Structure 1
Amino acid sequence: MTSTPSWCIRAAMVSDCKTRIGAAFGAAAPRYEGDAGVHRHVAMRLLDFATGGTDTGARDPATVLEIGCGTGLLTRLIAQRWPNAAITATDIAPGMIATMREAGSPARLLVMDGERPDLGTERFDLILSSLAFQWFEDLPAALARLHGLLAPGGSLCFATMGAESFSDWRAAHAREGLVCGLRDYPDRDEVAAMAQALGQCDLAEELVPLPAPGGLALARHFHAIGARVPQPGYRRLAPTSLRRVMARFDADGGASNYHIIYGRLWHD
Protein backbone atom coordinates (compact mmCIF):
# COMPACT_ATOMS: atom_id res chain seq x y z
CA MET A 1 0.00 0.00 0.00
CA THR A 2 1.34 3.42 -0.93
CA SER A 3 1.69 5.77 2.03
CA THR A 4 0.50 9.36 1.96
CA PRO A 5 3.46 11.77 1.91
CA SER A 6 3.73 13.98 4.96
CA TRP A 7 3.36 17.13 2.86
CA CYS A 8 -0.20 16.10 2.01
CA ILE A 9 -1.86 14.79 5.19
CA ARG A 10 -5.50 15.30 6.07
CA ALA A 11 -5.84 13.88 9.55
CA ALA A 12 -7.05 14.75 13.03
CA MET A 13 -3.42 15.04 14.12
CA VAL A 14 -3.02 18.34 12.26
CA SER A 15 -3.95 20.53 15.22
CA ASP A 16 -1.63 18.76 17.67
CA CYS A 17 1.23 18.69 15.17
CA LYS A 18 0.90 22.39 14.37
CA THR A 19 0.83 23.21 18.08
CA ARG A 20 4.09 21.31 18.57
CA ILE A 21 5.69 23.00 15.58
CA GLY A 22 4.72 26.44 16.85
CA ALA A 23 6.04 25.66 20.32
CA ALA A 24 9.35 24.29 18.98
CA PHE A 25 10.03 27.31 16.80
CA GLY A 26 8.87 29.72 19.47
CA ALA A 27 11.32 28.21 21.94
CA ALA A 28 14.12 28.61 19.39
CA ALA A 29 13.36 32.30 18.73
CA PRO A 30 16.04 33.81 21.06
CA ARG A 31 18.90 31.96 19.33
CA TYR A 32 17.34 31.35 15.93
CA GLU A 33 19.28 33.79 13.79
CA GLY A 34 22.64 32.69 15.15
CA ASP A 35 22.06 29.25 13.60
CA ALA A 36 20.08 30.26 10.54
CA GLY A 37 22.82 30.89 8.00
CA VAL A 38 21.12 28.68 5.42
CA HIS A 39 17.81 30.44 6.08
CA ARG A 40 19.47 33.81 5.53
CA HIS A 41 20.96 32.61 2.22
CA VAL A 42 17.61 31.23 1.07
CA ALA A 43 15.74 34.42 2.04
CA MET A 44 18.12 36.50 -0.07
CA ARG A 45 17.85 34.13 -3.04
CA LEU A 46 14.06 34.09 -2.74
CA LEU A 47 13.87 37.87 -2.85
CA ASP A 48 16.03 37.89 -5.98
CA PHE A 49 13.82 35.18 -7.49
CA ALA A 50 10.71 37.22 -6.66
CA THR A 51 12.03 40.25 -8.52
CA GLY A 52 13.17 38.30 -11.59
CA GLY A 53 11.29 36.08 -13.99
CA THR A 54 9.14 37.20 -16.88
CA ASP A 55 7.83 40.49 -15.50
CA THR A 56 10.93 42.39 -14.42
CA GLY A 57 9.24 45.61 -15.50
CA ALA A 58 6.34 45.17 -13.10
CA ARG A 59 5.57 47.88 -10.57
CA ASP A 60 6.75 47.58 -6.99
CA PRO A 61 4.23 45.87 -4.71
CA ALA A 62 2.12 48.14 -2.52
CA THR A 63 1.07 45.29 -0.23
CA VAL A 64 3.18 42.28 0.81
CA LEU A 65 2.18 39.25 2.87
CA GLU A 66 4.85 37.04 4.43
CA ILE A 67 4.04 33.51 5.56
CA GLY A 68 6.28 32.04 8.27
CA CYS A 69 8.28 35.16 9.09
CA GLY A 70 10.25 33.66 11.99
CA THR A 71 12.38 36.34 13.60
CA GLY A 72 12.22 38.57 10.55
CA LEU A 73 15.16 37.63 8.31
CA LEU A 74 13.10 37.96 5.15
CA THR A 75 10.85 40.69 6.58
CA ARG A 76 13.80 43.05 6.92
CA LEU A 77 14.93 42.34 3.36
CA ILE A 78 11.42 43.04 2.08
CA ALA A 79 11.35 46.36 3.91
CA GLN A 80 14.73 47.30 2.46
CA ARG A 81 13.75 46.33 -1.09
CA TRP A 82 10.31 47.98 -0.99
CA PRO A 83 10.39 50.67 1.74
CA ASN A 84 6.97 52.04 0.77
CA ALA A 85 5.17 48.70 0.86
CA ALA A 86 2.66 47.82 3.57
CA ILE A 87 4.00 44.52 4.98
CA THR A 88 1.96 41.95 6.87
CA ALA A 89 4.23 39.34 8.50
CA THR A 90 2.73 36.17 9.96
CA ASP A 91 3.96 33.13 11.84
CA ILE A 92 2.35 30.20 13.61
CA ALA A 93 4.70 30.61 16.60
CA PRO A 94 3.70 33.37 19.06
CA GLY A 95 7.31 33.42 20.29
CA MET A 96 8.56 34.41 16.86
CA ILE A 97 6.01 37.21 16.56
CA ALA A 98 6.89 38.41 20.08
CA THR A 99 10.58 38.55 19.13
CA MET A 100 9.79 40.63 16.06
CA ARG A 101 7.53 42.95 18.06
CA GLU A 102 10.23 43.49 20.68
CA ALA A 103 12.71 44.30 17.90
CA GLY A 104 10.40 47.05 16.64
CA SER A 105 9.50 45.51 13.28
CA PRO A 106 7.63 47.98 11.06
CA ALA A 107 5.44 45.21 9.68
CA ARG A 108 1.93 44.43 10.82
CA LEU A 109 2.50 41.25 12.86
CA LEU A 110 -0.02 38.42 13.12
CA VAL A 111 0.04 34.99 14.75
CA MET A 112 -1.52 32.88 12.01
CA ASP A 113 -1.33 29.42 10.47
CA GLY A 114 -0.14 30.27 6.98
CA GLU A 115 -1.69 27.10 5.64
CA ARG A 116 -5.12 28.37 6.64
CA PRO A 117 -4.89 32.16 6.31
CA ASP A 118 -7.63 34.18 7.98
CA LEU A 119 -7.41 37.59 6.33
CA GLY A 120 -10.95 38.21 5.17
CA THR A 121 -11.19 40.06 1.88
CA GLU A 122 -7.62 41.42 1.92
CA ARG A 123 -5.62 40.88 -1.24
CA PHE A 124 -1.87 41.30 -1.75
CA ASP A 125 0.38 42.30 -4.62
CA LEU A 126 3.10 39.91 -3.41
CA ILE A 127 3.07 36.91 -1.07
CA LEU A 128 6.43 35.55 0.08
CA SER A 129 7.32 32.51 2.15
CA SER A 130 10.80 31.19 2.92
CA LEU A 131 11.21 27.68 4.38
CA ALA A 132 7.75 27.39 5.92
CA PHE A 133 5.82 25.31 3.39
CA GLN A 134 7.57 22.07 4.40
CA TRP A 135 5.57 22.17 7.66
CA PHE A 136 2.20 22.32 5.89
CA GLU A 137 -0.11 19.34 6.15
CA ASP A 138 -1.66 19.73 2.68
CA LEU A 139 0.60 21.77 0.44
CA PRO A 140 -1.53 21.71 -2.74
CA ALA A 141 -4.56 23.04 -0.84
CA ALA A 142 -2.41 25.65 0.94
CA LEU A 143 -1.00 26.91 -2.36
CA ALA A 144 -4.54 27.28 -3.71
CA ARG A 145 -5.63 29.26 -0.64
CA LEU A 146 -2.66 31.58 -0.77
CA HIS A 147 -3.00 32.02 -4.53
CA GLY A 148 -6.55 33.17 -3.82
CA LEU A 149 -5.20 36.02 -1.69
CA LEU A 150 -3.38 37.61 -4.63
CA ALA A 151 -4.55 40.84 -6.16
CA PRO A 152 -4.84 40.84 -9.98
CA GLY A 153 -1.33 40.86 -11.39
CA GLY A 154 0.15 39.73 -8.08
CA SER A 155 2.50 36.82 -7.46
CA LEU A 156 3.15 34.17 -4.84
CA CYS A 157 6.83 33.34 -4.33
CA PHE A 158 8.16 30.63 -2.05
CA ALA A 159 11.19 28.60 -1.08
CA THR A 160 10.58 25.17 0.37
CA MET A 161 12.46 21.98 1.15
CA GLY A 162 12.89 19.50 -1.68
CA ALA A 163 13.06 15.71 -1.65
CA GLU A 164 16.87 15.54 -1.66
CA SER A 165 17.22 17.48 1.61
CA PHE A 166 19.45 15.63 4.10
CA SER A 167 19.60 12.59 1.81
CA ASP A 168 22.85 11.40 3.43
CA TRP A 169 21.24 11.53 6.88
CA ARG A 170 18.31 9.50 5.60
CA ALA A 171 20.71 7.04 3.96
CA ALA A 172 22.58 6.55 7.23
CA HIS A 173 19.31 5.50 8.88
CA ALA A 174 18.53 3.09 6.06
CA ARG A 175 21.98 1.52 6.19
CA GLU A 176 21.44 0.83 9.88
CA GLY A 177 17.98 -0.62 9.21
CA LEU A 178 16.24 2.27 10.96
CA VAL A 179 13.52 4.73 10.00
CA CYS A 180 14.36 8.42 9.72
CA GLY A 181 12.07 10.88 11.46
CA LEU A 182 12.47 13.62 8.85
CA ARG A 183 9.37 14.55 6.94
CA ASP A 184 8.89 13.65 3.30
CA TYR A 185 9.42 16.57 0.97
CA PRO A 186 8.18 16.85 -2.61
CA ASP A 187 10.54 16.80 -5.57
CA ARG A 188 10.60 19.43 -8.29
CA ASP A 189 8.12 17.57 -10.52
CA GLU A 190 5.63 17.28 -7.67
CA VAL A 191 5.92 20.97 -6.83
CA ALA A 192 5.55 21.81 -10.51
CA ALA A 193 2.32 19.80 -10.72
CA MET A 194 0.89 21.63 -7.69
CA ALA A 195 1.87 25.04 -9.06
CA GLN A 196 0.82 24.45 -12.66
CA ALA A 197 -2.65 23.48 -11.47
CA LEU A 198 -3.03 27.14 -10.47
CA GLY A 199 -1.66 28.69 -13.65
CA GLN A 200 1.61 30.20 -14.85
CA CYS A 201 4.66 29.41 -12.72
CA ASP A 202 8.45 29.48 -12.63
CA LEU A 203 10.60 27.03 -10.66
CA ALA A 204 14.27 26.80 -9.71
CA GLU A 205 16.24 24.63 -7.30
CA GLU A 206 19.61 24.41 -5.58
CA LEU A 207 21.54 22.41 -3.00
CA VAL A 208 22.76 24.46 -0.05
CA PRO A 209 25.36 22.68 2.15
CA LEU A 210 25.45 23.03 5.90
CA PRO A 211 28.81 24.55 6.84
CA ALA A 212 29.56 22.20 9.75
CA PRO A 213 29.84 18.48 8.92
CA GLY A 214 28.94 15.55 11.14
CA GLY A 215 25.89 14.03 12.79
CA LEU A 216 26.27 15.95 16.03
CA ALA A 217 26.45 19.28 14.19
CA LEU A 218 23.35 18.37 12.17
CA ALA A 219 21.38 17.40 15.28
CA ARG A 220 22.40 20.64 16.99
CA HIS A 221 21.39 22.61 13.92
CA PHE A 222 17.90 21.09 13.90
CA HIS A 223 17.52 21.84 17.59
CA ALA A 224 18.83 25.40 17.38
CA ILE A 225 16.41 26.48 14.65
CA GLY A 226 13.41 24.68 16.15
CA ALA A 227 13.15 22.09 13.37
CA ARG A 228 12.89 19.11 15.68
CA VAL A 229 9.27 17.99 15.25
CA PRO A 230 9.38 14.64 13.41
CA GLN A 231 6.90 13.33 10.89
CA PRO A 232 3.49 12.42 12.37
CA GLY A 233 3.42 9.05 14.12
CA TYR A 234 7.21 8.71 14.32
CA ARG A 235 8.72 7.12 17.44
CA ARG A 236 12.03 8.67 18.31
CA LEU A 237 15.10 6.47 18.21
CA ALA A 238 16.61 5.14 21.40
CA PRO A 239 19.94 6.84 22.25
CA THR A 240 21.92 3.75 21.25
CA SER A 241 20.22 3.65 17.84
CA LEU A 242 20.78 7.36 17.30
CA ARG A 243 24.47 6.94 18.10
CA ARG A 244 24.66 4.17 15.47
CA VAL A 245 23.12 6.47 12.86
CA MET A 246 25.45 9.32 13.74
CA ALA A 247 28.48 7.05 13.55
CA ARG A 248 27.36 5.75 10.15
CA PHE A 249 26.67 9.28 8.92
CA ASP A 250 30.11 10.47 10.05
CA ALA A 251 31.81 7.42 8.51
CA ASP A 252 30.13 8.20 5.19
CA GLY A 253 31.52 11.74 5.22
CA GLY A 254 29.06 13.61 7.44
CA ALA A 255 28.02 16.03 4.68
CA SER A 256 24.49 17.39 4.54
CA ASN A 257 22.55 19.64 2.19
CA TYR A 258 19.31 21.51 2.07
CA HIS A 259 17.55 20.92 -1.25
CA ILE A 260 15.67 24.16 -1.91
CA ILE A 261 12.88 24.52 -4.47
CA TYR A 262 11.92 28.08 -5.41
CA GLY A 263 8.56 28.76 -6.98
CA ARG A 264 6.67 31.75 -8.35
CA LEU A 265 2.98 31.76 -9.30
CA TRP A 266 1.01 34.61 -10.87
CA HIS A 267 -2.54 35.85 -10.59
CA ASP A 268 -3.93 36.83 -13.99
Structure 2
Amino acid sequence: MDDLILKINKSQVAQRFAKASQSYDQHAFVQKDICYALIGLMRRFMQYQSLERVFEIGCGSGNLTQLLLQNFKVNQLFLNDIYPEVQQHFQIQQNLDFYIGDIEQITFPEGLDLICSSSALQWVENLDQIFQKANTALNSEGYFCFSTFGLDNLKEIRLLTGQGLDYLALSGIHDKLLQQGFEILYLSEEHKILGFDQPKDILKHLKATGVTATASGHRWTKSSLQQFNQGYQQFLFKDVGNQLKYQLTYHPIYCIARRGV
Protein backbone atom coordinates (compact mmCIF):
# COMPACT_ATOMS: atom_id res chain seq x y z
CA MET A 1 0.00 0.00 0.00
CA ASP A 2 1.32 3.47 -0.83
CA ASP A 3 2.38 5.66 2.08
CA LEU A 4 -0.07 8.36 3.04
CA ILE A 5 1.64 11.47 4.39
CA LEU A 6 -1.06 12.95 6.54
CA LYS A 7 -2.46 16.41 6.56
CA ILE A 8 -2.85 16.41 10.31
CA ASN A 9 -6.39 16.94 11.58
CA LYS A 10 -5.57 18.79 14.81
CA SER A 11 -9.10 18.57 16.22
CA GLN A 12 -9.04 14.80 15.69
CA VAL A 13 -5.63 14.60 17.35
CA ALA A 14 -7.00 16.53 20.35
CA GLN A 15 -10.07 14.28 20.61
CA ARG A 16 -8.09 11.05 20.49
CA PHE A 17 -5.46 12.14 22.99
CA ALA A 18 -8.22 13.40 25.31
CA LYS A 19 -9.95 10.01 25.00
CA ALA A 20 -6.68 8.21 25.77
CA SER A 21 -5.71 10.52 28.65
CA GLN A 22 -6.72 8.02 31.36
CA SER A 23 -4.96 5.04 29.75
CA TYR A 24 -1.92 6.99 28.50
CA ASP A 25 0.07 6.87 31.73
CA GLN A 26 -0.22 3.11 32.04
CA HIS A 27 0.65 2.29 28.42
CA ALA A 28 3.05 5.06 27.37
CA PHE A 29 6.10 3.41 28.94
CA VAL A 30 8.28 4.23 25.93
CA GLN A 31 7.37 7.91 26.21
CA LYS A 32 8.14 7.79 29.95
CA ASP A 33 11.58 6.27 29.28
CA ILE A 34 12.20 9.03 26.75
CA CYS A 35 11.32 11.67 29.37
CA TYR A 36 13.87 10.19 31.79
CA ALA A 37 16.52 10.18 29.07
CA LEU A 38 15.77 13.78 28.11
CA ILE A 39 15.93 15.00 31.72
CA GLY A 40 19.25 13.20 32.13
CA LEU A 41 20.63 15.08 29.14
CA MET A 42 19.28 18.39 30.45
CA ARG A 43 21.01 17.84 33.79
CA ARG A 44 24.23 17.04 31.93
CA PHE A 45 24.27 20.00 29.54
CA MET A 46 22.37 22.87 31.16
CA GLN A 47 24.60 25.20 33.11
CA TYR A 48 22.15 26.22 35.81
CA GLN A 49 19.69 24.47 38.10
CA SER A 50 17.40 27.45 38.73
CA LEU A 51 15.08 28.57 35.92
CA GLU A 52 13.01 31.73 36.00
CA ARG A 53 10.53 31.08 33.16
CA VAL A 54 9.94 27.71 31.47
CA PHE A 55 7.58 26.75 28.63
CA GLU A 56 6.70 23.11 27.94
CA ILE A 57 5.17 22.19 24.58
CA GLY A 58 2.76 19.21 24.66
CA CYS A 59 2.73 18.56 28.41
CA GLY A 60 0.14 15.74 28.20
CA SER A 61 -0.34 14.01 31.54
CA GLY A 62 2.80 15.61 32.97
CA ASN A 63 5.52 12.96 32.76
CA LEU A 64 8.20 15.45 31.70
CA THR A 65 6.72 18.22 33.87
CA GLN A 66 7.10 16.17 37.05
CA LEU A 67 10.70 15.25 36.26
CA LEU A 68 11.47 18.87 35.38
CA LEU A 69 10.16 20.11 38.74
CA GLN A 70 12.02 17.35 40.61
CA ASN A 71 15.35 18.23 38.98
CA PHE A 72 15.24 22.01 38.52
CA LYS A 73 13.97 24.97 40.51
CA VAL A 74 11.33 26.61 38.29
CA ASN A 75 9.84 29.94 39.30
CA GLN A 76 7.24 30.32 36.53
CA LEU A 77 5.97 27.41 34.45
CA PHE A 78 3.88 27.70 31.27
CA LEU A 79 2.30 24.47 30.01
CA ASN A 80 0.93 23.92 26.52
CA ASP A 81 -1.21 21.19 25.04
CA ILE A 82 -3.84 21.04 22.34
CA TYR A 83 -6.72 19.81 24.53
CA PRO A 84 -7.95 21.41 27.78
CA GLU A 85 -8.45 18.07 29.57
CA VAL A 86 -4.70 17.97 30.36
CA GLN A 87 -5.35 20.44 33.17
CA GLN A 88 -6.89 17.68 35.30
CA HIS A 89 -3.43 16.13 35.71
CA PHE A 90 -1.98 19.20 37.45
CA GLN A 91 -2.57 20.89 40.78
CA ILE A 92 -3.51 24.56 40.55
CA GLN A 93 -0.48 26.60 41.52
CA GLN A 94 0.32 30.29 41.50
CA ASN A 95 3.38 29.82 39.30
CA LEU A 96 1.57 27.67 36.69
CA ASP A 97 -0.15 29.01 33.55
CA PHE A 98 -1.76 26.99 30.78
CA TYR A 99 -1.41 27.84 27.09
CA ILE A 100 -4.10 25.56 25.64
CA GLY A 101 -4.25 25.32 21.86
CA ASP A 102 -2.40 24.35 18.71
CA ILE A 103 1.26 25.26 19.27
CA GLU A 104 1.47 26.39 15.64
CA GLN A 105 -1.26 28.97 16.23
CA ILE A 106 -0.63 30.34 19.73
CA THR A 107 1.85 33.01 20.81
CA PHE A 108 4.71 31.77 22.98
CA PRO A 109 5.37 33.40 26.37
CA GLU A 110 8.44 35.65 26.26
CA GLY A 111 11.71 35.94 28.17
CA LEU A 112 12.16 32.20 28.64
CA ASP A 113 15.16 30.41 30.12
CA LEU A 114 14.00 27.05 28.78
CA ILE A 115 11.60 25.60 26.22
CA CYS A 116 11.19 21.83 26.54
CA SER A 117 9.07 19.17 24.90
CA SER A 118 8.92 15.39 24.86
CA SER A 119 7.25 13.21 22.22
CA ALA A 120 5.11 16.06 20.85
CA LEU A 121 6.88 17.93 18.05
CA GLN A 122 6.24 15.14 15.52
CA TRP A 123 2.66 16.50 15.33
CA VAL A 124 3.93 19.89 14.11
CA GLU A 125 3.50 20.53 10.39
CA ASN A 126 5.78 23.58 10.13
CA LEU A 127 8.75 22.82 12.36
CA ASP A 128 10.75 25.76 10.97
CA GLN A 129 8.10 28.12 12.33
CA ILE A 130 8.20 26.48 15.78
CA PHE A 131 12.00 26.66 15.89
CA GLN A 132 11.86 30.31 14.87
CA LYS A 133 9.20 31.11 17.52
CA ALA A 134 11.28 29.26 20.12
CA ASN A 135 14.41 31.22 19.26
CA THR A 136 12.52 34.51 19.53
CA ALA A 137 10.91 33.61 22.87
CA LEU A 138 14.15 32.47 24.55
CA ASN A 139 16.54 34.73 26.41
CA SER A 140 20.09 34.83 25.08
CA GLU A 141 21.74 31.50 25.91
CA GLY A 142 18.32 30.07 26.80
CA TYR A 143 17.89 26.34 26.22
CA PHE A 144 15.66 24.43 23.80
CA CYS A 145 15.53 20.78 24.88
CA PHE A 146 13.27 18.23 23.25
CA SER A 147 12.64 14.71 22.07
CA THR A 148 10.73 13.83 18.94
CA PHE A 149 10.57 10.81 16.61
CA GLY A 150 12.54 9.91 13.49
CA LEU A 151 11.89 8.24 10.15
CA ASP A 152 11.60 4.64 11.43
CA ASN A 153 8.98 5.42 14.06
CA LEU A 154 6.12 2.87 13.94
CA LYS A 155 7.47 1.76 10.57
CA GLU A 156 5.58 -1.55 10.77
CA ILE A 157 2.22 0.26 11.00
CA ARG A 158 3.13 2.53 8.13
CA LEU A 159 4.14 -0.38 5.92
CA LEU A 160 0.94 -2.35 6.58
CA THR A 161 -1.64 0.46 6.63
CA GLY A 162 -0.07 3.30 4.65
CA GLN A 163 -0.78 5.57 7.65
CA GLY A 164 1.91 7.64 9.32
CA LEU A 165 3.24 11.05 10.18
CA ASP A 166 5.81 12.88 8.07
CA TYR A 167 8.79 12.26 10.36
CA LEU A 168 12.10 14.07 9.86
CA ALA A 169 15.56 12.55 9.69
CA LEU A 170 18.12 13.56 12.32
CA SER A 171 20.00 15.54 9.67
CA GLY A 172 16.84 17.50 8.81
CA ILE A 173 16.32 18.53 12.44
CA HIS A 174 20.00 19.46 12.69
CA ASP A 175 19.79 21.72 9.63
CA LYS A 176 16.55 23.41 10.73
CA LEU A 177 17.99 24.24 14.15
CA LEU A 178 21.11 25.78 12.63
CA GLN A 179 19.01 27.78 10.15
CA GLN A 180 17.14 29.35 13.08
CA GLY A 181 20.35 30.29 14.87
CA PHE A 182 20.57 27.58 17.53
CA GLU A 183 23.79 26.15 18.88
CA ILE A 184 23.41 22.36 19.04
CA LEU A 185 24.97 20.96 22.20
CA TYR A 186 23.69 17.41 21.74
CA LEU A 187 21.72 15.54 19.08
CA SER A 188 21.25 11.78 18.92
CA GLU A 189 18.81 9.04 17.98
CA GLU A 190 18.04 5.46 19.02
CA HIS A 191 15.68 2.63 18.16
CA LYS A 192 13.49 1.00 20.78
CA ILE A 193 11.95 -2.33 19.74
CA LEU A 194 8.90 -3.52 21.68
CA GLY A 195 7.61 -7.10 21.54
CA PHE A 196 3.91 -8.05 21.65
CA ASP A 197 2.18 -11.43 21.82
CA GLN A 198 -0.31 -10.66 19.04
CA PRO A 199 -0.76 -7.92 16.39
CA LYS A 200 -4.07 -6.95 18.05
CA ASP A 201 -2.10 -6.11 21.22
CA ILE A 202 -0.12 -3.56 19.20
CA LEU A 203 -3.33 -1.86 18.07
CA LYS A 204 -4.57 -1.76 21.67
CA HIS A 205 -1.25 -0.27 22.80
CA LEU A 206 -1.40 2.45 20.14
CA LYS A 207 -5.03 3.28 20.93
CA ALA A 208 -4.26 3.55 24.65
CA THR A 209 -1.50 6.08 23.94
CA GLY A 210 -3.57 8.19 21.52
CA VAL A 211 -1.37 7.34 18.57
CA THR A 212 -4.36 6.24 16.49
CA ALA A 213 -4.69 9.96 15.86
CA THR A 214 -2.37 9.20 12.94
CA ALA A 215 -5.10 7.14 11.29
CA SER A 216 -6.87 9.79 9.26
CA GLY A 217 -10.23 8.32 8.37
CA HIS A 218 -8.89 4.77 8.75
CA ARG A 219 -11.60 2.30 9.76
CA TRP A 220 -10.84 -1.29 10.68
CA THR A 221 -13.01 -4.00 9.16
CA LYS A 222 -12.89 -7.75 9.69
CA SER A 223 -11.12 -8.05 6.35
CA SER A 224 -8.55 -5.30 6.97
CA LEU A 225 -7.79 -6.68 10.45
CA GLN A 226 -7.21 -10.12 8.96
CA GLN A 227 -4.92 -8.61 6.34
CA PHE A 228 -3.08 -6.68 9.07
CA ASN A 229 -2.57 -9.85 11.15
CA GLN A 230 -1.25 -11.74 8.14
CA GLY A 231 1.04 -8.91 7.12
CA TYR A 232 2.46 -8.63 10.62
CA GLN A 233 3.90 -12.16 10.43
CA GLN A 234 6.96 -10.64 8.70
CA PHE A 235 7.75 -8.74 11.90
CA LEU A 236 8.06 -11.78 14.17
CA PHE A 237 11.29 -12.01 16.18
CA LYS A 238 12.64 -13.89 19.19
CA ASP A 239 13.08 -11.83 22.34
CA VAL A 240 15.79 -12.28 25.00
CA GLY A 241 13.75 -15.11 26.51
CA ASN A 242 13.66 -16.84 23.11
CA GLN A 243 9.90 -16.16 22.86
CA LEU A 244 8.32 -15.26 19.53
CA LYS A 245 7.04 -11.67 19.57
CA TYR A 246 5.64 -9.16 17.11
CA GLN A 247 7.85 -6.08 16.94
CA LEU A 248 6.94 -2.42 17.06
CA THR A 249 9.65 0.18 16.47
CA TYR A 250 10.00 3.52 18.21
CA HIS A 251 12.69 5.89 16.90
CA PRO A 252 13.30 8.70 19.42
CA ILE A 253 15.52 11.68 18.68
CA TYR A 254 17.00 13.78 21.52
CA CYS A 255 18.17 17.38 21.25
CA ILE A 256 19.79 19.87 23.61
CA ALA A 257 20.16 23.24 21.86
CA ARG A 258 20.89 26.77 23.03
CA ARG A 259 20.07 30.16 21.65
CA GLY A 260 23.07 32.33 20.83
CA VAL A 261 24.03 35.49 22.71
Aligned with 1:192 (options 158, 166, 174): 174
CA RMSD, 1 decimal: 2.5
Aligned with 1:204 (options 184, 188, 191): 188
Aligned with 2:98 (options 105, 109, 117): 109
Q: Distance in 2 between matches of 1:105 and 1:229?
A: 33
- How far 1:214 sits from its partner (Å)? 3.7
Question: 5+ unaligned residues in a row in structure 1: which ranges?
Answer: 174-178
Q: Distance in 2 between matches of 1:251 and 1:30?
A: 32
Q: Is the 8 A contact 1:116 1:145 kept in 2?
A: no
Task: For residues 169-200 of structure 1, give each alpha carbon's deviation from its aligned partner in whole angstroms, at most 9, with x where no partner exists.
Answer: 333x2xxxxx4212121111111111121231
Matched, 1:248 2:231: yes
Secondary structure of 2:212's match?
coil
Question: 5+ unaligned residues in a row in structure 2: which ranges?
Answer: 237-245
Name the residue aligned to 1:85.
Answer: 75
- How far 1:28 sits from its partner (Å)? 1.2
Secondary structure of 1:85's match?
strand
Q: Distance in 1 between matches of 2:4 and 2:212?
A: 21
Name the residue aligned to 2:241.
Answer: none
Aligned with 1:27 (options 9, 14, 19): 19
State the TM-score, normalizing by the size of structure 2: 0.84
Q: Is the 8 A contact 1:24 1:226 kept in 2?
A: yes
Which structure has the highest strand share of the two? Answer: 2
Q: Distance in 2 between matches of 1:210 and 1:262?
A: 19
State the TM-score, normalizing by the size of structure 1: 0.82
Q: Distance in 2 between matches of 1:119 and 1:235?
A: 33
- How far 1:31 sits from its partner (Å)? 1.8
- How far 1:166 sits from its partner (Å)? 1.8
Q: Is the 8 A contact 2:4 2:162 kept in 1?
A: no
Q: Distance in 1 between matches of 2:213 and 2:117?
A: 20
- How far 1:227 sits from its partner (Å)? 1.4
Count matched residues. 247
Matched, 1:47 2:35: no
Q: How much identity, in percent, do the aligned residues show?
A: 23
- How far 1:242 sits from its partner (Å)? 3.1
Q: 1:23 to 1:168 in 2, by over 3 A?
A: closer
